Chains A and B, each alone.
Chain A
Amino acid sequence: MSLRLSGIRARIGGVPVLHAVDLEIRNGKVTALLGRNGAGKTTTLRTVLGLTELDAGEITCEGRDLSRLPTWRRAREGLFYVPEDGGVFQDLSVQENLKLSARMPIAQAIEPFEELGPLLGRRAALLSGGERKILALARAYASRSEWLLIDEPSLGLAPTVLRRLAGAIQLLRGRAAMLIVEQNLGFAQSVADDYVLLLDGRTVDRGPIDTLRQSSQFDAAMHFGQSEGGSSQ
């Protein structure tokens, strides 16, 4: 099972942002999409989901072309997006947030996320940043989606919450293919199997995450990310 992006081009407000993005994610694997600010990482995720219009290229799931489907159809085809703020419905309760995406009973959905148990009736707007991200991953788990696209999961979280988040991502690894945009290299290396490096809207390198630092493109692609992301190593 794989999700493949071939020759993706996209623009925002008429300005070309993605020029040639190629990548593939596979079931059971976590792929970190890395690059400095403005490289096109979030735009890549949004293009896969149909939130940013595709200029050229192809997005395929197991040979099925998703490129021209509306966002809601892509979601029903098994794509699940966790934006950097968690993307939970703030006016809905935790239980309602889960219910909206769940393809399993809520009790079963929160088994691996026991911290959500006492919070089921609480409005999502009242959750902490960490709780929102756990809820977002619980929604992804409950949805049984096969392709998870997660934007900056570590952003703004304390180290203890990060460890919990990493545990949740490990849990999801067994059920789905994951593409994670991450500025925090340490976190990316702790959860990912593979990396894809983006530079100015192009895929410039890819490989197993252990070999990231040996990449000839590493310095060029990560330069600003390292200086701006305090936790990057």
Chain B
Amino acid sequence: MILNVLLSGLSLAAFYFILSAGLSLVFGIMGVLNFASAGYFVAGLYAAWFGLGHGWGILPAFIFAAVVGGVLALLVEVSLLRPLYGNVGGQILTTLGVMLILDEAVNWVFGPQIQQEQMTGLLSQTVMFGGMPFPVFRLLLIAVGVLIFLLLALALRYTGLGLRVRAGVDSQTLAELAGVRVAPLRSIVYALGGMLAGLAGALYGPFSGVYPSAGLDTLLLTFIVVVVGGLGSIPGTLAASLVIGLAEALVGFFVPSLALTVNVLVMILVLLLRPQGLLGKPPGRRDTHAA
């Protein structure tokens, strides 16, 4: 039984990581809390549902969801956000507006009702763990989470692009002083964030169905994970996802009435003990060379 609870916690953690990693990186390189990620999440959710509904396999449908999220994010970055660099208020309002427009767009096209068919069926296939059935899809979720963490970690650590991104997250001004052109890095990271949000949307569908306000429903949780992990830190986002996912599963098992509040409690506890988050930069270490 406890093994099932732990596996559920790990699958939640994997989902939270995929949901939040892009947002964390976007904040690190752009300094903006990207509300639009909830819009890319919904777009990915409906894209996967559309793909599965047209007989695509799970892999093409989910890749399509990530691509839709990434392309939308790239379009938004190039057309709307690029002129707003340095204008944090403008960026926040714009990303908020993009989220609302995307939510309303799917509402208008597909209607407000929850679509259960296609997606929830993915949970029906189970394997036995400790005498209890466990959905194969949750195992897949853990595998995808681990794969994405490894890909991100290896790319950030061992590629030239990853080095430039980490330099930009450390200090954009110093990166530019080192000859790094930060603008294309922002586009790449923002599109990557959109892809991850779109994929997270697809992975969310089997648990909750497909509905227009799904992005809004997960937005608070996304910010909690990013803040607990430390803004801009991928290892921090992983650590926060694991802490929150496992805490939610364990508390949900032993004290079900507290299951929905445990992530907020974790955030309050972490912020009291370590205001910069588990692996975030201390506030005084933000870009001191900026104009």
The residues of A that contact B237 with a CB separation of less than 8 Å are none
Most chain A beta-carbon neighbours within 10 Å: one of B171, B175, B290, B291: B291
Q: Among A75, A88, A96, A143, point to the contact of B176 (Cβ < 8 A).
A: A75
Let me know if B289 and A87 touch, CB within 8 A.
yes
The residues of B that contact A96 with a CB separation of less than 8 Å are 163, 166-167
Which stretch in B40-48, B53-61, B179-187, B205-213 binds the other chain?
Answer: B179-187
Q: Which 4 A-B pairs have the closest CB atoms?
A: A75-B179, A71-B176, A89-B170, A72-B176
The residues of A that contact B289 with a CB separation of less than 8 Å are 51, 83, 87
The residues of A that contact B167 with a CB separation of less than 8 Å are 89, 92, 96, 100
Sorting the interface of chain B by its residue count into under 10, 10 to 19, 20 to 34 or 35 or more gives 20 to 34
Let me know if B163 and A75 touch, CB within 8 A.
no
- Given A51-B289, A91-B170, A96-B163, 14 more pairs with CB closer than 8 A: A51-B177, A52-B291, A72-B182, A75-B178, A76-B179, A80-B177, A81-B177, A88-B174, A89-B166, A92-B167, A99-B163, A100-B180, A139-B178, A143-B178
Let me know if A91 and B166 touch, CB within 8 A.
yes
0/1 string, B197-229, CB within 8 A of A gives 1: 000000000000000000000000000000000
CA distance A101 to B182 in the complex (A): 15
Question: In this assembly, does A55 line the interface, its C-beta being within 8 Å of a C-beta of chain B?
Answer: no
Question: In this assembly, does B169 line the interface, its C-beta being within 8 Å of a C-beta of chain A?
Answer: yes
CA distance A81 to B173 in the complex (A): 11
B residues within 8 Å of A by Cβ?
A: 163-164, 166-167, 169-171, 173-182, 281, 285, 288-291
The residues of A that contact B179 with a CB separation of less than 8 Å are 72, 75-76, 101
Given A72-B180, A75-B178 in contact, is the A51-B170 Cβ separation under 8 Å? no
Q: List 13 A-B contacts (CB under 8 A).
A: A49-B177, A51-B177, A51-B290, A51-B291, A71-B173, A71-B177, A75-B179, A88-B174, A89-B171, A91-B170, A96-B163, A100-B164, A100-B167
Residue of B nearest to A96 (CB): B163
The residues of B that contact A208 with a CB separation of less than 8 Å are none
CA distance A81 to B178 in the complex (A): 8
The residues of B that contact A132 with a CB separation of less than 8 Å are none
Let me know if B285 and A90 touch, CB within 8 A.
yes
Residue of B nearest to A51 (CB): B291
Let me know if B166 and A101 touch, CB within 8 A.
no
CA distance A143 to B288 in the complex (A): 23
The residues of B that contact A70 with a CB separation of less than 8 Å are 176
Question: In this assembly, does A85 line the interface, its C-beta being within 8 Å of a C-beta of chain B?
Answer: yes
Question: In this assembly, does A173 line the interface, its C-beta being within 8 Å of a C-beta of chain B?
Answer: no
Let me know if A100 and B291 touch, CB within 8 A.
no
Question: In this assembly, does A46 line the interface, its C-beta being within 8 Å of a C-beta of chain B?
Answer: yes
The residues of B that contact A80 with a CB separation of less than 8 Å are 177
Given A72-B180, A72-B181, A96-B163 in contact, is the A89-B174 Cβ separation under 8 Å? yes
Most chain B beta-carbon neighbours within 10 Å: one of A53, A71, A90, A96: A71
CA distance A87 to B179 in the complex (A): 14
Let me know if B163 and A51 touch, CB within 8 A.
no
The residues of B that contact A52 with a CB separation of less than 8 Å are 291
CB distance from A10 to the nearest CB of B (A): 11
Let me know if B174 and A87 touch, CB within 8 A.
yes
CB distance from B291 to the nearest CB of A (A): 5
